[in-house]
Amino acid sequence: MIGEHHVEERNLSVAWARALRLVGARGRSEVAPLVVGITGFDRAGNFEEEPRIRAELDALLARNGKQSVDTVANTIFPASLWNSKARRELLFDRYKRIAPRLKKASRKNSRGIYFERMMTGGPKGQENQLDFGIRTYLARDGVRRSILQVGVFDPSRDHSAAAQLGFPCLQHVTFAPTDDGLCVNAFYATQYMVERGYGNYVGLCRLGRFVAHEMKLPLVRLTCVTGIAKCEMSKNKLASLLTTIDAVVGSTEQKGV
């Protein structure tokens, strides 16, 4: 399903590709707002993907000196550090140990990393927002579902008159347990669809899989709301990627979008 401001697909790659074509349609370079829904998760919380689109995008990012899809995704959830058979505290401890090194490794991380912020900022003595929400919700029946949210944007640190800030574009993530399973909702002020969009979706799906696992729920939906979604690369640079998208997803004319 696709509309002027809304895309919904089972497959993550198809959802991102349709969103990119919507944002970068003839005569425009942004859509405000943009809502993208992804619903195709298996019982283990894995998402559906089209490898050809992912490979072509990673090649484009590499040619232009940008971070790979996985590098972007890991800022939201460090999948390689998580062992689903271990206690979640092991993941948090591992990340705490490497976080200082990650921040030094790239200037993009100098103001913070999304997962790091999700592990801080909570109540005094319970600063890990993710752990606080999961643990409190599971502790007893009848706990309000709104406790399952993490804030990333911190006005005391992030309000700035700088022309470009870069971080954080992700403002807030909420987790909504429903009768069908867990829904993840993410809110961005702005988002670069080529450099960041795909990796953001991957990272959010992986984060959702982690939280759903901890809550013993199936992951059923990711909804990403972006205030201003931008197509930041020229059509010439995107030519090869758009050709692959047309081959995999179908051309705009064929799909009527």
The continuous run of DSSP H or E covering 67 comes out as none
pLDDT per residue as tens digits for the range 192-224 = 999 999 999 999 999 999 999 999 999 999 999
Q: Which CATH class is domain 6-255?
A: alpha beta
Quote the pTM value.
0.93
**For the chain, percent helix, then strand, then coil, each to nearest 5?**
45, 20, 35
Q: What string of pLDDT tens digits covers the 257 residues of the chain? A: 667 899 999 999 999 999 999 999 988 999 999 999 999 999 999 999 999 999 999 999 999 999 999 999 999 999 999 999 999 999 999 999 998 888 777 777 667 799 999 999 888 888 999 999 999 999 988 888 999 999 997 766 766 666 566 667 899 999 999 999 999 999 999 999 999 999 999 999 999 999 999 999 999 999 999 999 999 999 899 999 999 999 999 854 334 33
pLDDT of residue 256: 36
Q: Where are the domains positioned within the chain?
A: 6-255
pLDDT per residue as tens digits for the range 135-166 = 999 998 888 899 999 999 776 676 666 656 66
User: From CA 243, how far away is CA 234, in angstroms rounded?
Assistant: 14
Q: Which two tokens stand for residue 233?
A: 């690369």
Q: What separation in angstroms does the CA of 23 have from each of 4, 90, 230? A: 9, 40, 6
Burial label, 35 (beta-carbon count in 10 A; 0-12, 13-18, 19+): middle
Q: What separation in angstroms does the CA of 101 have from each of 75, 104, 110? A: 13, 5, 11
